[in-house]
Amino acid sequence: MKSELLEKYSVANLISGCEYSLSYAKEGDRVKDYVKDMIKRMDINPDEIYSCIQTHTEKVQYCNGENGKEFIYGRNFPDTDGLITDKKNIALLLKFADCTPLVFYDKKREILSIVHSGWRGAQKRIPEKAIEKMKSEFKSNPKDIFVYIGPNIDIDNYEVGEEVYKEFSEFKNRDRFFKKIKGSWHLSMTSVNKEILLEAGIDEENIEICKDSTYNNLSLHSARREGKAYGLNSMIVMMR
pLDDT in tens, 48-84: 999 999 999 999 999 999 999 999 999 999 999 999 9
Ramachandran class of 37: left when φ > 0, alpha when ψ lies in -120 to 50, beta otherwise: alpha
Long-range contacts of 123-126 (CB under 8 A, 24+ apart): 123/167, 123/168, 124/57, 124/58, 125/58, 125/196, 126/57, 126/58, 126/60, 126/81, 126/82
Q: Residue 115: is its pLDDT beyond 90?
A: yes
> In this predicted structure, what is the pLDDT of residue 109?
95
| pLDDT single digits (tens) 122-179 | 999 999 999 999 999 999 999 999 999 999 999 999 999 999 999 999 998 999 999 9
Under 8 Å between Cβ of 156 and 186: yes
32 φ, ψ (degrees, to nearest 5):
-60, -40
For range 191-218, the mean pLDDT:
96
